[in-house]
């Protein structure tokens, strides 16, 4: 438990090349008010904070946690100062550096626009050769486009409570990214029996076979903690774009690449041959219940 009198975690939210999506997403955190009792924003682009960005850019103070949003671009300035200079000053003394969103984690969409110069702060896609390599041990990646507010809330609370955060190979907390987005989707039974969705928004069917769903290849808890606590993309009938992975963004979001009408990518950890065998067998069965509409609107007018 932390009282208001205890030392509040000093957090600086710095932006690189960004659309502001992560800063906005954080505002949706259910317990934001409670969290703000335990942390003090030295600067945040949207929330009330102690200092203006121009004051932080003078690099005369330090922070406990540096949150970086957006891709790293060596030529970018904020408040008239190179972001590179501000980033390195605060990174040096911070206990933790959190890269929020896929752009800060791997380069993301802004890397796709300028692949020669832009990257994440530690990773450049999945190569660990970003500008903050020397701070490797204190960097936590919270990928996502945008980051789920709960993923950031969870991480800050773990730091406040001085609990160990176990990371995966791409520096993402395993608590949040060890399972696949496919886990918890209400369409799992259709996935197992290879029943396709015919159009977006349809309640029945799986989006893996034709509509480009990347959830079986994507790490994250979107389908277990949900968005706004109520829904997810795949539950509502649109494909997962795989936004937490280092190869995001890919092309043709709404199409499944196939070989001989079977998805070219198998779920993580499933050998291709095993997957092809299981798919071939499942496709030979026709489960009437799964091929019928869930709700019979026609006969209930
Ligand atoms: S729609 Fe996507 S997440 Fe849902 S069951 Fe199919 S592959 Fe999995
Ligand atoms: S469902 Fe997929 S695309 Fe949507 S936020 Fe989760 S990981 Fe990203």
Complex ipTM value = 0.88
In this prediction, residues 101-107 reach a mean pLDDT of: 98
Ligand 1 contact via 195 beta carbon (within 6 Å): no
Ligand 1 contact via 135 beta carbon (within 6 Å): no
pLDDT digits (tens, 9 = 90+) for 34-80: 999 999 999 999 999 999 999 999 999 999 999 999 999 999 999 99
How sure is the predictor about 198, in pLDDT bands with cuts at 50, 70 and 90? confident
How far, in Å, from the CA of 49 to the mean position of ligand 2?
Answer: 30
List binding-site positions for [4Fe-4S] cluster. 19, 103, 145, 182, 185, 206, 213
Share of the chain above pLDDT 70, in %: 98
pLDDT the model gives residue 4: 47
Ligand 1 contact via 185 beta carbon (within 6 Å): yes
Given the CA of residue 218, which atom of ligand 2 is nearest to it? 7
Ligand 1 contact via 207 beta carbon (within 6 Å): yes
Question: Alpha-carbon distance 199 to 171, whole Å?
Answer: 36
Question: Alpha-carbon distance 142 to 271, whole Å?
Answer: 28
Q: Which CATH superfamily is domain 188-291 in?
A: Cytochrome-c3 hydrogenase, C-terminal domain (4.10.480.10)
How far, in Å, from the CA of 200 to the mean position of ligand 2?
Answer: 16
How far, in Å, from the CA of 58 to the mean position of ligand 2?
Answer: 37
Q: Which of 1-5, 140-144, 166-170, 207-211 has the lowest mean pLDDT?
A: 1-5
Question: Nearest bound ligand to CA 234?
Answer: 1
Residue 179 has pLDDT above 60, yes or no: yes
In this prediction, residues 88-109 reach a mean pLDDT of: 98
Which residue, judged by its Cα, is nearest atom 7 of ligand 1? 208
> Selecting from 3.40.50.1370, 3.40.50.1820, 3.40.50.700, 3.30.70.1520, what CATH number does the domain 9-177 have?
3.40.50.700
Structural domain boundaries in the chain: 9-177, 188-291
Residue 151 and residue 223 in contact, taking contact as beta carbons nearer than 8 Å: no
List binding-site positions for [3Fe-4S] cluster. 222, 240, 243
How far, in Å, from the CA of 224 to the mean position of ligand 2?
Answer: 12
Which residue has better confidence, 285 or 149?
149
List binding-site positions. 19, 103, 145, 182, 185, 206, 213, 222, 240, 243
Ligand 1 contact via 191 beta carbon (within 6 Å): yes
Q: Which of 107-121, 154-168, 231-245, 284-298 has the lowest mean pLDDT?
A: 284-298
Question: Alpha-carbon distance 124 to 203, whole Å?
Answer: 38
For 165, other C-beta atoms within 10 Å of its C-beta total 16
Share of the chain above pLDDT 90, in %: 88
Residue 301 has pLDDT above 70, yes or no: no
Residue 5 has pLDDT above 70, yes or no: no
Which residue, judged by its Cα, is nearest atom 4 of ligand 2? 240
In this prediction, residues 92-108 reach a mean pLDDT of: 98
pLDDT the model gives residue 183: 97
Ligand 1 contact via 202 beta carbon (within 6 Å): no
Which residue, judged by its Cα, is nearest atom 2 of ligand 2? 240
pLDDT digits (tens, 9 = 90+) for 242-267: 999 999 999 999 999 988 778 899 99
């Amino acid at each position: 438990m932390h009282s208001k009198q205890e030392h509040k975690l000093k957090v600086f939210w710095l932006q690189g090349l960004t659309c502001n999506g992560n800063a906005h997403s954080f505002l949706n955190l259910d317990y934001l008010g409670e969290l703000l009792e335990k942390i003090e924003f030295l600067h945040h682009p949207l929330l009330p904070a102690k200092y203006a960005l121009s004051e932080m850019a003078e690099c005369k103070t330090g922070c406990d946690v540096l949150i970086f949003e957006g891709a790293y671009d060596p030529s970018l300035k904020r408040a008239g100062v190179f972001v590179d200079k501000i980033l390195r000053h605060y990174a040096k003394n911070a206990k933790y550096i959190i890269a929020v969103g896929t752009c800060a984690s791997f380069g993301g969409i802004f890397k796709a626009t300028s692949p020669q110069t832009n990257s994440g702060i530690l990773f450049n896609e999945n190569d660990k050769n970003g500008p903050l390599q020397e701070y490797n041990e204190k960097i936590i990646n919270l990928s996502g486009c945008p980051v789920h507010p709960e993923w950031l809330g969870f991480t800050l609370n773990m730091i406040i409570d001085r609990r160990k955060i176990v990371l995966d190979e791409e520096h993402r907390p395993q608590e949040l990214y060890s399972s696949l987005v496919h886990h918890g989707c209400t369409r799992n039974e259709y996935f197992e029996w290879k029943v396709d969705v015919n159009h977006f928004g349809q309640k029945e069917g799986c989006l893996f076979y034709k509509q480009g769903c990347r959830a079986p290849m994507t790490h994250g808890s979107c389908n277990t903690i949900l968005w706004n606590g109520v829904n997810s993309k795949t539950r509502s009938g649109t494909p997962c774009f795989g936004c937490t992975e280092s190869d995001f963004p890919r092309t043709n979001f709404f199409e499944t690449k196939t070989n001989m009408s079977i998805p070219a990518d198998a779920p993580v950890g499933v050998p291709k041959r095993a997957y092809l065998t299981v798919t071939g067998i499942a496709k030979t069965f026709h489960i009437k219940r799964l091929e019928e509409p869930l709700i019979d609107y026609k006969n209930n007018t």
